Structure 1
């Protein structure tokens, strides 16, 4: 809810309060959203190597609490002392939180006079440096929470227990359901508060809620199940060590018996990507050994896991480029339609509410109806395999783009602005159903397939696919707009329907590539 309270209305804030141009505001929002889905890699490094998932979430939640101070300092000027007292109270949770939070509060309080402009009419009363400092604290905070809340939640289920294994599948459904409850509240209630009551209250509500969430999260600390940290430090460093060691040993011959490889005593060795097995060749005692020359078989298998999953990861880029249309071209399409619905005028951006509603409707249906029915047919505990679930979502995304293209073709043939914007609602609803299948399936797949030492990194890479898809969408929009003229300033003079057909065609090709790769994919249990 805190993240979406910023993201949903950020363009409005930058244009009306900071007085940025539409182009600059759109570019800055895109850059910020991309950063929010890149920072999980930083958090993964800390969670898997040093802090663990619990401490990482607690620390980054505390960063969220400070955001409203550092981003909107002038909005909270009258109440900053009270807010500092509240934040300092939260510092008693742990010594690490006290150090992190206390220093940030002291720094922001000391810098408050610098951030505030001398006159009330400068930049809408907000210094841009304070705003962007706070925005990128949000990006940092969300990067430490997004992948680890799911991973820590899944850690509470014993994969060896049949009942708990089924319950873990439901957990990912309801985890995503909860995210969309926050999104719905932010896009309706909080956006209305920001526009009609004020930014202070609009940003203050989620700030208080995230503080409450931190208190509840820490209160359960004694009853959580904790997975041990991975061996050998950073999982990213271990992966790079395998690449370097295999390259340095490229001229060596692999032993006929894989048991001769370094520390191959756990039965982990697989026969794929055998070149990287050279990183585990035991060197003569006279040669210098080190982590960049000799790696364990478990390290090699971590890299092999990444390589096996890379085609699935690549398939997700097109999917998230398609869902990215809900914040770009679909809104532009809605602006060219009749926005009157009865006595009301519907904002094009508010149509994304149908995407959220679709998720909230489909998660219970999937969990309570589809899974039991599919279980009888497939024999799978979860009803569908994770790859089957992702594939269904990819197909739905192609259908959503085809529907958008048909609507645009009909709009172009109709009199100007005479077609109701509500014709877009089914498109958002289909894309929401696609998210239930692909996005949730992706989270579960990346969690299950990565070894225990890389669970947080796996979740971070899943979110990195979202960032990659959004960046890909920006590239495609720019390339198509500059070479074809399909996306014109006046949509009546362009052919947005051709672009939607283009995205639908890419989605179909992507689905075929995914089907091919998924049929050849073998999990670690099958190798």
Structure 2
């Protein structure tokens, strides 16, 4: 909204650049703060209801997020593009909704379960990393009993109970580099605090396994849109000589609508039915299923692009004008993109929702907000990697609009499918080995995921 006010008279002038980037930075900070804290804060309110309550919360949280996206893409886009001072009106409406949400959130303050902060979590993590690196590289120093108050608060009772009967560390097993932050190895932190940071590192590794999923998800706003511009967007209208041209951006609504329909179905029918027959789909299994749907979405896009290129080369091409720009296109309907959008939506329902729930459930309590922030950050990292990959392949596979059919966008989609396929096979294999070891009781089951 501020951008619309500041640049009302000359939106294309260079004087608006600094204001626009400043506003985008503020939006990024605000969005990151909300996405890192609201899911974990909401889960705190319902976690005493058990695993089912957490599952329902994260599913409905994701449903609400996509409802807002649907309204933003639909209603606010119409206001922004089809009304006088549209962008100012659209952002004013969005700002009003945010103000109303803030007021409703404040009114519920007396009923919230709130845990007072005990210090800086990030500072505690950095202190542990500093101690670990220093202890690994330097000579052992005088042991201190000063420890991190934030990371140890939730497990002090366990530590106190185990002091009297703790067995000494086996001499045959060398400590990891993080162990040098522990008191027993000359550091200044209790075992529980260091183990929490170790668990956070394991969670981060799993999030890196989701990067191929985010790469495919990134195609909703990039590769799929580019593909749609070169498919037939015109549809005959009864009684009219001109065709109705469907905006390619409308296809992204199928992703959101599919999510809005599938989440209630999974929450109200599928999951309860599986629970009744004793089949519980774990978080890691749901993430693997989501990866599978993501793989199918990339394959679907690649197959569609392959046939589109073949049709154009066989002489079944058309010329279409979109916003005064001329595009070469094949005669394959734009609606053939619907399956790949729905497959991405299915991947979100499984991997996206389960990833959020896993970030909360698997992380130690003091680090839950950090874990949620890292999960959201992975989406940004995936977007950045996708942009880098497109830039690297543009001279070869991804051509300018006028030379679209001289390139190979289908190869790009198949490359994404290959990357996602490798990640899926690796993750599924690790999951099977993990389950086998749990059955044989070779590893402890600390988290029911």
Indicate the TM-score class for this superposition, using the shorter chain for normalisation. 0.7 to 0.9
Per-residue CA deviation, residues 163-186 of structure 1 (Å, 9 max, x unaligned), is 443112101000000001111111
Number of the residue aligned with 2:398 = 487
Write the distance in 1 (CA, Å) between the matches of 2:234 and 2:384. Answer: 33
Q: Measured at CA, do residues 244 and 280 of structure 1 come closer, stay the same or move farther in structure 2, by a change above 3 Å?
A: same
Number of the residue aligned with 1:139 = 28
Pairwise CA distance, 1:375: 2.0
Q: Which runs of 5+ in 2 are unaligned?
A: 142-151, 238-243, 318-329, 435-443
Q: How many residues align?
A: 391
Answer yes or no: is the 8 Å Cα contact 2:204–2:374 preserved in 1.
no
Number of the residue aligned with 1:72 = 4
Number of the residue aligned with 2:341 = 428
Write the distance in 1 (CA, Å) between the matches of 2:116 and 2:11. Answer: 52
Number of the residue aligned with 1:191 = 77
Number of the residue aligned with 1:280 = 182
Write the distance in 2 (CA, Å) between the matches of 1:207 and 1:346. Answer: 29
- Aligned-partner SS, 2:12: helix
Number of the residue aligned with 2:196 = 302
Match runs of 1:402-481 below 5 Å? 402-414=299-311, 415-416=316-317, 417-481=330-394
Per-residue CA deviation, residues 47-80 of structure 1 (Å, 9 max, x unaligned), is xxxxxxxxxxxxxxxxxxxxx23x32247xxxxx
Answer yes or no: is the 8 Å Cα contact 1:355–1:431 preserved in 2.
yes
Pairwise CA distance, 1:245: 1.9
Pairwise CA distance, 1:506: 0.8
Write the distance in 1 (CA, Å) between the matches of 2:42 and 2:448. Answer: 26
Q: Measured at CA, do residues 154 and 523 of structure 1 come closer, stay the same or move farther in structure 2, by a change above 3 Å?
A: farther
Selected match of 2:115 from 199, 203, 227: 227
Selected match of 1:317 from 211, 234, 240: 211
Pairwise CA distance, 1:124: 6.1
Answer yes or no: is the 8 Å Cα contact 1:404–1:500 preserved in 2.
yes
TM-score, structure 2 normalization: 0.80
Pairwise CA distance, 1:302: 1.7
Pairwise CA distance, 1:525: 4.1
Q: Measured at CA, do residues 121 and 152 of structure 1 come closer, stay the same or move farther in structure 2, by a change above 3 Å?
A: closer
Per-residue CA deviation, residues 322-362 of structure 1 (Å, 9 max, x unaligned), is 11011111101100011013432111122100110111011
Pairwise CA distance, 1:157: 1.7
Per-residue CA deviation, residues 66-95 of structure 1 (Å, 9 max, x unaligned), is xx23x32247xxxxxxxxxxxxxxxxxxxx
Write the distance in 2 (CA, Å) between the matches of 1:210 and 1:273. Answer: 53
Write the distance in 2 (CA, Å) between the matches of 1:403 and 1:388. Answer: 23
Pairwise CA distance, 1:495: 1.2
Selected match of 1:393 from 290, 294, 301: 290
Pairwise CA distance, 1:202: 1.3
- Aligned-partner SS, 1:487: coil
Q: Which runs of 5+ in 1 are unaligned?
A: 1-67, 76-115, 254-261, 285-292
Per-residue CA deviation, residues 282-335 of structure 1 (Å, 9 max, x unaligned), is 478xxxxxxxx4112222012111222233111111100111011111101100
Answer yes or no: is the 8 Å Cα contact 1:333–1:491 preserved in 2.
no
